[in-house]
Amino acid sequence: MKRLSLNKKENRKNRHLKIARKFKRIDNGLHRLLVTKTNGHIYAQLIDDGKNITVVSSSSLQLGLKNGNKENSSKVGEDIAKKALKKNIKEINFDRGGSKYHGRVQILADSARKNGLVF
């Protein structure tokens, strides 16, 4: 029987592990766009799992943006897409890092799609 957890941190960690296992099974050679968010900032990294390196990264902190709002998420998505296209990376896998797909995570993903990334 599965143990029910009432802790939000445990639920988020379980979602993240479930997504990570899925990407390990797929292994289609695409880079992975990992999104991490805190109350104040949002971070995006494009990771090559075959070589275990971060290819490009962007964050609201790196761009000098304050407050973790939705406009900043859009700017980070635009920036990561431009950097990825400079490296000739167009198709990726999207890893939301255990966060639910809404709010700032969804806006970052939509912005990255508008600027040329396919996932």
Domain parsing of the chain, residue ranges? 29-114
Helix-helix angle 70-86:104-114, to 10 degrees: 40
Model pTM score: 0.83
* pLDDT (tens digit per residue) in 86-104: 999 999 999 988 888 999 9
For 9-32, the pLDDT digits (tens) are 888 888 888 887 877 777 788 899
- Tell me: pLDDT of 74 over 60: yes
Architecture in CATH for domain 29-114: 2-Layer Sandwich (3.30)
- φ/ψ region of 82 (left if φ > 0, alpha if ψ in -120 to 50, else beta) reads alpha
How far apart CA 8 and CA 27 sit, in angstroms, is 29
Asked if 41 and 102 touch (Cβ cutoff 8 Å), the reply is no
